[in-house]
Amino acid sequence: VKVERRFTHPVMKKTVRMTKKYKAHDENNAHKVGDQVFIQESKPISKDKRWVVVSSDQA
C-alpha cells in the first residue's frame, strides 16, 4: 500500500509530496492494484507485514 502525504517545506515554502510503502495483509486477495483501501495497524503477520486491509474506498 502506498501512502502519500503533502506538506509545506519549512524553508522553501513549496508543497512537497512524500510517499511511503506499507505491506498490508489482504486475507482474500479481494483488492487489485490501484484500489484505494483503508489499513489498520495489527500484530506482526510476517517479517515485514504489520498492517491489515480493513475496507476499500467505494466512491
Per-residue pLDDT of 3-50, as tens digits, reads: 999 999 999 999 999 999 999 999 999 999 989 999 999 999 999 999
Query: If pLDDT is split at 50, 70 and 90, which confidence band does 55 have?
Result: confident
In this structure, are residues 44 and 23 in contact, taking their beta carbons and an 8 Å threshold? no
pLDDT at 56: 82
In this structure, are residues 56 and 36 in contact, taking their beta carbons and an 8 Å threshold? yes
Residues 6+ apart with CB under 8 A from 15: 6, 7, 8, 9
pLDDT at 58: 66
pLDDT at 17: 98
